[in-house]
Chain A
């Protein structure tokens, strides 16, 4: 079982973003790292100066580096940027929207969690078009992961396994809306929330998180206790999505769980110590995504009943 570090989904300060990857390159036991801005193209220019050195450092440390595409593209400059990325033979692209598929012209590529691959027929179609790695949509249950992975043994299937779960994308920026700003003059207010802005209900139940045009879960996905099930289903990699915590320690903990060095219950406690956000894995079991299903099958509500 491989470990993949997904792209940073939030608006991090460029130097901190660079230094984060330097440390990942040096310290984190991950096999694949996805780099690049996938949520909002307005953030891209700030990261671009640092991408060459980040890629070099990661590749030098033996990591496979993928360049993530944007998720929603409507502006000509966004499509142009993706065309350039698709044409660059130094990188393998992780496609997050079918916009990029034609641009790649059959070149081998990865597919990210924002492309809708819900079944074996669709997975097969994309494999014939050059997909070698596919990160499945986070809402897929284990039964679907199994059916898909077993039908395409030559493709490496990844499962979203740690981090706030990306749930929706919009053309509209909710950080800008909340701050009564227009999208074009957003003042990059999302940078104030490098871990996402928590959204609670009017009854103070933790619910969602806001990240500019993206909406995520309040909870942190954790499939740390489900490693054996994923392996048995045929998943080839677990994806860790960067949050504001010690991601090297998170990666090491998942590596230990994969290697059987840490038991599920012990792992969950250790993960809470590293990143004390409520954990969820409900999607895997066809339950509400916010729920957490324990190893014994108990469904824990994310919000304790009053």
Chain B
């Protein structure tokens, strides 16, 4: 299975190449990519140089152009596709059907991957992308169990890729407007979720209160670790009960699921975290290389090696086990 690592900067990309990543995904420094954070991502020139560097070491680069093009300014997304092709990206990762259509017509030889943001959650949906745009791979949304992933992988005519580590959406990706409801900034249009610019912390009777826009997302007692106020991982109330109504502030760690994911026929494993620092990238890549070689050799998996690396306070296998079904 191919190991795909995130890179938010050219330096992180170099680290990931050195650490032995099979492939790296990254994006341009504008709203065409779904990790549009200030100070992150690649200029056109950086992208060209970084891809050339990766290619010298046999590492491929996948360029994520995976927000939905803004009406009246679709050219910005089309130009991003053109520039990724010119920079010799090994694949473009797209979410918007209009952008996929442009890419398939204008650059028919370019390898096209369907982004997780496209929410292709079953074989019929994936078939639409394969038949319409000659998609070669689909990144599966994090709403599927391993059994469902296996069934899909068997049925479709393209490769499947899954997330194995890092931040975790509990809502189906690409179909969530919670962030824009609270802040006016959305993953689909702006490439951000629960953006830092909309967050405030305040002290209140000894508790730390985290707020997003006009809304309190969580309160932490003194000494309690305060998670980043991602909207779907806040504590809320209803008449029927309160707490973490949608999801605990947990991160995905599917290390223990790797044997099953391999048996399911998954082609590529993806690590989330283009916003993370170089130390994270290096350690997470090295660790997963070790885990995968242990898997290949039939040795026990070093499942605890990544402890402490995730952003959440606890880890979960997410939908892969569907313990809640």
Residues of A within 8 A of B (CB): 71-74, 79, 82, 97-103, 114, 116-126, 137-140, 143-148, 165, 167-174, 176-179, 182-184, 197-205, 207-208, 210, 215, 217, 282-283, 286-291, 301-303
Q: Indicate if the CB atoms of B180 and A139 lie closer than 8 Å.
A: yes
- Contact between chains at B188 and A98 (CB < 8 Å): no
Q: Restricting to B161-189, which residues have a CB under 8 Å from any CB of A?
A: 170-172, 174-178, 180-184, 186, 188-189
Asked if B245 CB lies within 8 Å of chain A CBs, one says: yes
Q: Is residue B319 within 8 Å, beta carbon to beta carbon, of the partner chain?
A: yes
A99–B124 touching, CB < 8 Å: yes
B268 interface residue per 8 A CB criterion:
no
Q: Determine the chain A residues whose CB is within 8 A of the CB of B119 once the complex forms.
A: 72, 97, 116
Q: A121-B101, A200-B238, A215-B178 are in contact. Are A183 and B325 (CB under 8 A)?
A: yes
Q: What are 8 A-B interface contacts by the 8 Å CB criterion?
A: A98-B120, A99-B122, A101-B128, A118-B71, A119-B74, A176-B324, A202-B242, A204-B237
In the complex, the answer to whether B171 meets A169 with C-beta atoms within 8 Å is yes
B237:A201 contact, CB within 8 angstroms: yes
* Nearest chain A CB to B126 CB, angstrom units: 9
Contact B178 A74 (CB under 8 A): no
Q: Report whether B188 and A102 are in contact in the complex, using a CB–CB cutoff of 8 Å.
A: no
Q: How large is the interface on B (under 10, 10 to 19, 20 to 34, 35 or more residues)?
A: 35 or more
Q: Whole-angstrom distance from the CB of A285 to the nearest CB of chain B?
A: 9
Known: A98-B128, A200-B236. 20 other contacts (CB 8 A): A74-B122, A79-B122, A99-B121, A99-B128, A100-B124, A116-B118, A116-B119, A118-B69, A121-B96, A121-B102, A122-B69, A124-B98, A168-B176, A170-B172, A171-B319, A177-B245, A202-B216, A208-B178, A283-B180, A290-B181
By the criterion CB–CB under 8 Å, are A119 and B98 in contact? yes
A147-B71 in contact (CB<8A):
yes
| Chain A residue contacts of B177, Cβ below 8 A | 137-139, 165, 167-168, 283, 289
CB contact between B324 and one of A100, A177, A286 (< 8 Å): that residue:
A177
Q: Nearest residue in B to A214 (C-beta to C-beta)?
A: B171
- How many Å from the CB of A222 to the closest CB on chain B? 15
Check if B217 is an interface residue, CB within 8 A of chain A: yes
Chain B CB within 10 Å, residue with most, of A102, A179, A283: A102
Contact check, B181 vs A165: say whether CB atoms are below 8 A apart. Answer: yes
In whole angstroms, how far apart are the Cα atoms of A200 and B245 in the complex? 11
Cβ of A202 and Cβ of B219 under 8 Å apart? yes
**Cross-interface CB contact of B246 among A182, A201, A215, cutoff 8 Å:** A215
